[in-house]
Amino acid sequence: MLPVLEGEQGWRLCLHHRDFEPDAIYGSRKTICVISRHYLQSEWCSREIQMASYRLFDEQDDVLILLLMEDIPACELSLYYRMRSLVKRRTYLSWPQAGQHTGVFWQNIRRALMTPGSPTDNPIRGFFQNQE
């Protein structure tokens, strides 16, 4: 995902493992939460989601983009109340559902990220959990 978002699409990302700043969520135009089982199990997951959802509700603006990297049944998500609540209430993008139509998937991400100004004005905060 990083080569496409940063390279091909020209977004400037703030990744927690590379260049995390405590106020990055509030300093970014959008927050992409890339959800996988590994991410849900990380100790930072609930803190990051909590901060992002506070901003979502504080600003009453569409600043949070949920992206499911794998199919996660509702019974598994129920262990993560805040995440399950967000997924139930918000539209989200799903990589597995993209299937053969990855071009449409990337167009949808680009459309979700679009805000006034150029893509390099402010970073986009991404919650990417290392798969190691």
| pLDDT by position in tens, the chain (length 132) | 889 888 988 888 877 777 767 677 778 888 888 888 888 888 777 777 788 888 888 877 778 888 888 998 888 887 787 788 888 888 888 888 888 888 888 888 888 888 544 344 555 555 554 443
The answer to whether residue 33 is domain-embedded is yes
pLDDT computed for residue 116 by the predictor: 46
Contact indicator for 42, 129 with CB cutoff of 8 Å: yes
The answer to whether residue 44 is domain-embedded is yes
The answer to whether residue 22 is domain-embedded is yes
C-alpha to C-alpha distance for 15 and 86, rounded to whole angstroms = 21
The answer to whether residue 132 is domain-embedded is no
CATH number where 75 lies: 3.40.50.10140
pTM of the model: 0.74
Its domain, for residue 39, covers 2-127
C-alpha to C-alpha distance for 110 and 30, rounded to whole angstroms = 11
pLDDT computed for residue 125 by the predictor: 56
Contact indicator for 35, 90 with CB cutoff of 8 Å: no
Total domain count, the chain: 1
The answer to whether residue 26 is domain-embedded is yes
Tokens found for residue 44? 């930072």
